[in-house]
Amino acid sequence: MVDNFPGFPEGIDGFELMTRMQQLAEKIGTRTWMGSIVEAVEFSDWKISLTGGCRIAGH
């Protein structure tokens, strides 16, 4: 239970909060990956390496 998150004076279940955040992110066009683990982040050019050899670039 998350007791001090703005907008939920009675608290909110952590799983429910993360589900709502993911839905909002996807609504504005963010792509999400489940089951991947970040192995490395190159901050100089914002490249992220995930498990399985996948690499993504940020803006």
For residues 8 and 53, the model is more confident at 8
Sheet of 38-42, strand order = 38-42, 47-50, 55-57
User: Phi/psi at 30 (nearest 5 deg)?
Assistant: -75, 135
Number of neighbouring beta carbons within 10 Å of residue 21: 10
Residue 24: per-residue pLDDT = 96
Residue 3: per-residue pLDDT = 95
> Which element (helix H / strand E) includes 45?
none
Residue 11: per-residue pLDDT = 96
Q: Which two tokens stand for residue 54?
A: 């996948």
Residue type, 10: E
Domain ranges across the chain: 14-57
Flag whether pLDDT at 58 surpasses 90: no
> For 7-50, what is each residue's pLDDT tens digit?
999 999 999 999 999 999 999 998 887 778 888 888 888 888 88
